[in-house]
Every structure is written in C-alpha cells, then in structure tokens.
Chains A and B, each alone.
Chain A
Amino acid sequence: MSTQPKGPAVEEQTLVTRTPREAGVGEGAAAQPYGPRRILVLGATSGIAEACIRLWANRGDSLYLVARNADKLAAVAADAKTRGASHVGSAVANLDDTSAHPEVLAHAINSLGGLDVAFLALGVLGDQVDAEKGFTAADQVLHTNFVAPVSLLTWLANYTAQRHAGTLAVLSSVAGERGRKSNYVYGSSKAGLTAFVDGLRNRIDREGVKVMTIKPGPVKTAMTEGMKGSGKFADVEAVAASLVKAIDRGDDVVYVPGIWRVIMAVIRVIPERVFKKMNL
C-alpha cells in the first residue's frame, strides 16, 4: 500500500504540493484569514496538539511536526497530509535533550521556509505520588514541562524578535495558578512556564512577536484518561477549535474553555488559611 501507517521513523517527509484551496475544504477553510501559515508543532502527538493539527491541515496550512515516538508521529503526519496540509515535515526528537534544540528548530524552519507560528505542546502529567517520594520523578516533570520549553523559547524568541514577526503559542495550564496537593509538582512546572512566557511577552511583544500563554482546564485526552471526573472534562475538538482561532488572533492569555478564567479567579482569591485545609 502507498502509506504504511506504522512506517519506519520519519526523518523528513516529502513535500506535498497542492494548493490548499484545492483540497481546502473542511471547517477551517473559509475562516482562514491569512493564507497558508507555516506552523511548527513541538510535542505533536499530544492530544490537544493533534486536534489543532487536524484543523490547520484541513485549511491547508504548512506544518512541521516534532515528537518523540516515531510510530505515533508517523500516524499524526499521515493524517495531516491526507487532510490537505500544504506541506508536512516531521522529525523524531526527544526534546528533553536541550542540546539538540538549535538543530531541530533550524531544520524545521528550513523545511517550512520560514515560521509564522510555533506551538509548544510538549509536557507530561507525571505522577504526583512518585514525585513526593523522591526528587527523580519531580525532576523529570520539571525538565520536560519547564526546562525544555525555556530552551526552545529562548532560541525561538531571538529568531522571531529579529524578524519582528511570528507567534509563539505555549501550552501551560490552569494548574500553574495555584499549587494543590493533588498535582503541585506538575502545577509548579506550569507556574514556572507561565511566568517565563508572560515575561517573554513583556520583552518581545514590542518587537512585533505575539507570545501566548495558553491555560487549558482539564481536557479529555490520553493524558488525562482515568483521572477522576474525566468523563466531564472538556472535549478536545472544541478546545482545539477555540485555540486555532486564538492563535490566529495572537491573544496574550487564553483560558480554554473560557469558563476557567472565572473559576481560577475564584480559586486564586481563597485565603490561604482556608485553602491549605481544602482537598483539591
């Protein structure tokens, strides 16, 4: 058959040249105000990233996808290509290895022929209980969720600021707004990331670069499967649809679903003497 769904590790996929409008059907097509955009997705096999990739592919954007697992990445890339992305490049990389970042990023930008959007969706939930028992587990969460994105963003900020253009969309979390006993290690990694991204926006927004702090509430994805109450979590397709619009606009701080802006405002004002006794 022509594509093996579980093909060998894809280093660089072939260029698909097709005018986006030719295949340019599906939902996003009419709403796309900018023409095909060149979008780099880091952590492309995460549930939220994949749902966004489908919408971008539907409207014919150009994509470069980076993820660690070759089989999963191949499936996501095949889907994007089939849907009509103008171009799909991809690289298998473990982004925990910060020393490889400059090469991965340079290769991505060469493949895309420039960069309009970088979407950082890498992250792990980790295991709070393990992280309480010893530092190793916490270190892993902090490294993947905070240290690695800082390395990527430092490079990307300098690249985009020089050109006075681009959008850096970073997936943080509402969990970073207040530490809770059930997931404060994950939460602290996201708190660090939020502060870094907010600061970066303060530095390079004036250079013409949009820097976005994205804070999803709990979303139904593979990452949250089996969590208590996961049946009521937000639908990933709806979350992706609002994210794609927010990224088109380049909003500063995005809560998805929007209700979490209100929920977190309430949670932030609970006095600590009460909060510390709560079971959250």
Chain B
Amino acid sequence: MVMPSSAELDFNTPQPTEAGAKPAGAPPFESWGRYPEYNADLKQLHWQGDYPKVIDGVHHGALAVGMGRSYGDVCLLKDGTLVQTTSMNRLLDFDPVTGLLTAEAGITLAQILDFAVPRGYFLPVTPGTKYVTLGGAIANDIHGKNHHHAGTFGRHITQFELVRSNGERMHCSPSSNPDYFGATIAGMGLTGVITWAQLRLKPIVSRMIDYQGIQFHGIDEFLDLTRQAENIEYTVSWVDVTSTGKNFCRGIFMQGDHSKVPAPLTVSGKPKLTFPIELPGFALNGATVGAFNSVFFNKQMKKRVNTLQDYEPFFYPLDAVLKWNRMYGKGGLLQFQYAIPWEHAREGTIAILQAVAKSGLASFLAVLKAFGDVPSPGMMSFPKPGITLALDFPIKPEKSFALFDRLAEMTNEFGGRLYPAKDARMTSTQFQAFYPQWEKFARYKDPALTSGFWERVVGGQLGVRGVGK
C-alpha cells in the first residue's frame, strides 16, 4: 500500500483557477451603500488557524470583512485583499446560567439569535439589522435602541482573540492586553483579525416587546418624550425630514421593553422577500419620498399606540426584505449619521434638519435618538452623550455630495462627529477633528491591514506594508 504523503483530508486548499483567485465574472464585494465601488481580491476564511496564512504574499494591504453591511468604505479596500469571515461561524461554548456565549467572529447576529432566543437569551445590544457578524459588530462598536441603558456592543464583550498579520495570537480582555482590547473595539478591523469572541447575552422570557408609538411635533416634544422614557430600555424615533413649517421635525417616538409575560421562545422564520431589481435612479425623488413620509406618519392615526410586538419587526423592520438597498438603484446610497453632544444637540439638530429639508434631497429613513452616557471600552467608539441622527440619500453626485459635505462641516461646528461605519465622504481634516485620539489608535494598527476608509482619512501618513514572503 502506497501511503500518500500529503493527500490529507485538507479541504482548505484553494483550487487554482486560470489567472487570479477571483472567479471570472464575480461581482466585486460591495458595502451596503454600494458606493464607492472598488475591486478587490476576495478570500474566504474558514478556520481560525488559516489566518494569517491566507494573506501570505499580499502586497496591497488586507482587511477582514463580514456581511458588508456597513454603508461606506470601512469594509472596502481598493485593489487589496478582503478576507471574508462568514464561513468561520462556529459556536464554541455557551453557559446557560450566565449567558456567556463564545463564538467564532464570522457568526451573524441572526445566527446568534436563532441559537439564543429559544434558550431564553437575547443580544445585549442590537443594531437595526441582524445580518452583521460578531466581528463586525465589535469592529464598528455598534449601538442600538438601548444605548441609553446598555451602551455600545463592545461593553458586553468579555474577551476575544486578536490575530496579527505576523502570526501573533493575542488574548484580549479588560485585564489581558487591555490596550489592544480597547483599540480593537471600534477599531474598524485595523488592529488585526478577531477569530473568536465572547459576549454576555441577556435573559428574556418572551419574543415580544411591549411597544408604544407616540407622535411628536418638533424637537422639544422629542426631547420631552426622551426624558419621560428614561427607564424604558429601547427608544428610537422616526422623523420626517421632508416637511417644513408646522410639520417640521414631526415624527414617531417608538419605545419598548422586553415583555415580562412568559411566552413561547420560538426561532424566527427566514425572510422570504428579496428586493427584486434595482430601481431606476429617478424612482426616489422628493415627491415619492415625501409621499412615503406622509403615509408613514399618518399610518399611526392616533397620538399614542400601545401594542405587543414581536422583536423581529421592532428591531429589524428592514430585514424582512433582503437586499433592500437595491431600492436606491445602481448609484447606491449614502448614509449620514452624527452624534452631537448635549451642549449643542438641540440647535445642531434643528440646523441640520432645516438644511436637509431646504435642500429638497429626499431622505427615506431618518432616525433620531438620544445617546446615553454609558462609556464604551472602545478607543475609537462613535457614540457620545447627546443626539444622534441617521439619514440616507440616493447618490446624485452633484447635489448629495455637496449637501453631505455641508452637513459634515455643520456637525464639526456643533462639536459632533460622524460614524465611520456609515461614511463615504468625511475628509481627513474632519476625521482627525472628530477623533483626535486617532494618532494613539494608529499605534495599535496592524501594518498589513487597511481599508478604503483609512486610506481616505489617514492615507499616506501611515502607509500599508506588504506581508511576508
């Protein structure tokens, strides 16, 4: 019997194709805004041990990516190598008493919920989509409707492994490599690759949310409702940014708590709808979006609505339609999200909403929320106590870029900052004003890793080096 020397059960050897590693005709990896469009080599990370081997010989930088749900270029890298983690999605340990879950970083929050909800646990913090990875949630230090209670996602991370491009494997927690722990949370994937992480889930007894929707007119009513809702875990508001005059800053304040009445903890169904086509660019204009906003506002006829609502529509209304970003057509969409501290939050929000309404540039979904003062362990974390507003626009280069740049400048003047995960436009001067700690952060950056965002806002100041061989 001839024993093969290396015909091992190694399923991980990439099979050669003609020229490059990317199959012919494969579309480039896109961020959720589908702007900018960059070509990059895409490699899959299946096993923890495959990193950093998978980037051997890479010379134009590398970046770990997950579901591509950040809007701009924090998850893109022009002509570089993207290492997608979504196949590295194993559960590693769960303690049903403490709710501590350990999983590989490519697992999605949707997959975590499928596991956790039937066992009576929920995510400690969730963004508006469950289709993001655990690693991505850490790297962007995401926040949710309970920021005023729970702080950011990073606060609920107890430990993780960070692998550097030189092969060093670092165990990070508040007590072990605490500086890398802090730099990696909200570190935009630039400090290394997270292979696994542990987070603390929180107990629930029902899928349902005790929900209240309350109409408001104007920023002061919004601020009153925010104060009244201090003890309610989840709060967020939808705001109509197309109306002026007496309807200026009207909206619906949505608040809720996990229901305390025990009810069956079943697994969510899979979404069945996919947005079928790219709408033509003109489909979303002032008229259609204004109409949408009116319908949305008037759908809730009463001043106040009380209901018991499943967590899926409460947290993830847009997840019901996969690929909804196609609604914005080929050009894609731009997101804009600021956090302005309380000192200037009211005037800043009014000024920015006025500028948006005056511009006539449609924004479909505008989300307004008060951030709390729970600090994040993340050195580069975005939220700070005050008001945050998120808007999105279809991309019309001439008009929307000019508006954007103006809003970014206004944010700066009001002492606020923008969210890298939702940005494709901020300038390097703005970034460095928003995040003066960036130079300290840069010391923890992995020399082989970079992103479209980092190249844009820091770029040549800290060039990227090739890896190995």
- A→B interface (CB under 8 Å): 1-3, 5-6, 23, 25-27, 43, 45-47, 67-69, 71-72, 75-76, 78-79, 82-83, 94-98, 122-127, 129, 139-141, 143-144, 147, 221-231
What is the bound-complex CA distance between A140 and B12, given in angstroms? 16
Task: Point out the residues of chain B lying under 8 angstroms from A27, CB to CB.
Answer: 267
- Decide if B118 touches A25 in the complex (CB within 8 Å): yes
What is the bound-complex CA distance between A103 and B9, given in angstroms? 19
Interface 1/0 per residue, B199-216 and A, CB below 8 Å: 000000000000000000
- Decide if A228 touches B104 in the complex (CB within 8 Å): no
What is the bound-complex CA distance between A150 and B92, given in angstroms? 34
- Decide if B93 touches A71 in the complex (CB within 8 Å): no
With beta carbons under 8 angstroms apart, the residue of B9, B49, B267 that contacts A68 is B9
In chain A, what residue has the closest Cβ to B3? A96
What is the bound-complex CA distance between A139 and B4, given in angstroms? 7
Task: Point out the residues of chain A lying under 8 angstroms from B1, CB to CB.
Answer: 98, 147
- Decide if B102 touches A6 in the complex (CB within 8 Å): no
Interface 1/0 per residue, B77-95 and A, CB below 8 Å: 0000000000100111111
- Decide if B23 touches A78 in the complex (CB within 8 Å): no
Q: Which 8 A-B pairs have the closest CB atoms?
A: A140-B7, A25-B118, A79-B90, A140-B4, A82-B91, A3-B93, A68-B9, A78-B92
Task: Point out the residues of chain A lying under 8 angstroms from B9, CB to CB.
Answer: 43, 45-46, 67-69, 94-96, 122-124, 144
- Assuming A75-B48, A78-B91, is B15 touching A127 (CB within 8 A)? yes
A-B contact pairs, 29 of them (CB 8 A): A1-B102, A5-B102, A5-B196, A23-B119, A26-B114, A26-B115, A46-B9, A46-B11, A47-B11, A68-B9, A69-B10, A78-B92, A124-B8, A129-B16, A139-B2, A139-B4, A140-B4, A140-B5, A140-B6, A143-B3, A222-B11, A222-B12, A222-B44, A222-B87, A225-B44, A228-B23, A229-B23, A230-B23, A231-B25
- Assuming A75-B47, A125-B15, A227-B17, is B7 touching A83 (CB within 8 A)? no
- Assuming A26-B114, A26-B115, A78-B90, is B4 touching A71 (CB within 8 A)? no
- Decide if B49 touches A6 in the complex (CB within 8 Å): yes
DSSP majority for the B interface? loop
Q: B271 in the interface, Cβ–Cβ < 8 Å?
A: no
Tally the A-B contacts, defined by beta carbons under 8 Å. 137
Task: Point out the residues of chain B lying under 8 angstroms from A6, CB to CB.
Answer: 48-49
- Highest count of chain A CB atoms <10 Å: which of B9, B44, B102, B196: B9
Q: B350 in the interface, Cβ–Cβ < 8 Å?
A: no
Q: B159 in the interface, Cβ–Cβ < 8 Å?
A: yes
- Decide if A25 touches B119 in the complex (CB within 8 Å): yes
Q: B291 in the interface, Cβ–Cβ < 8 Å?
A: no
B contact residues, total (Cβ < 8 Å): 47
With beta carbons under 8 angstroms apart, the residue of A1, A5, A72, A229 that contacts B195 is A5
- Decide if A226 touches B7 in the complex (CB within 8 Å): no
With beta carbons under 8 angstroms apart, the residue of A67, A82, A96, A231 that contacts B7 is A96
Task: Point out the residues of chain B lying under 8 angstroms from A222, CB to CB.
Answer: 11-12, 44, 46, 87
- Assuming A23-B119, A96-B4, A144-B7, is B93 touching A82 (CB within 8 A)? yes
Task: Point out the residues of chain A lying under 8 angstroms from B26, CB to CB.
Answer: 231
**CB contact list, B1-47 vs A, under 8 A:** 1-18, 21, 23-26, 44, 46-47
How near does chain B come to A52, taking the closest CB pair, in angstroms?
A: 14
- Assuming A2-B93, A5-B48, A82-B93, is B104 touching A75 (CB within 8 A)? yes
- Decide if B92 touches A79 in the complex (CB within 8 Å): yes
Task: Point out the residues of chain B lying under 8 angstroms from A230, CB to CB.
Answer: 23
Task: Point out the residues of chain B lying under 8 angstroms from A78, CB to CB.
Answer: 90-93
Q: B293 in the interface, Cβ–Cβ < 8 Å?
A: no
Q: B450 in the interface, Cβ–Cβ < 8 Å?
A: no
What is the bound-complex CA distance between A143 and B267, given in angstroms? 43
- Decide if A223 touches B11 in the complex (CB within 8 Å): yes
- Decide if B93 touches A127 in the complex (CB within 8 Å): no
Q: B363 in the interface, Cβ–Cβ < 8 Å?
A: no
Task: Point out the residues of chain B lying under 8 angstroms from A223, CB to CB.
Answer: 11, 15
How near does chain A come to B162, taking the closest CB pair, in angstroms?
A: 13
Interface 1/0 per residue, B45-58 and A, CB below 8 Å: 01111000000000
Task: Point out the residues of chain B lying under 8 angstroms from A71, CB to CB.
Answer: 47-49
Task: Point out the residues of chain B lying under 8 angstroms from A97, CB to CB.
Answer: 3
What is the bound-complex CA distance between A271 and B48, given in angstroms? 47
Q: B198 in the interface, Cβ–Cβ < 8 Å?
A: yes
Interface 1/0 per residue, B333-363 and A, CB below 8 Å: 0000000000000000000000000000000
What is the bound-complex CA distance between A223 and B44, given in angstroms? 11
Other A-B pairs, 8, CB within 8 Å; known A129-B16, A228-B23 = A1-B102, A5-B92, A23-B119, A46-B9, A78-B92, A139-B2, A141-B7, A222-B12
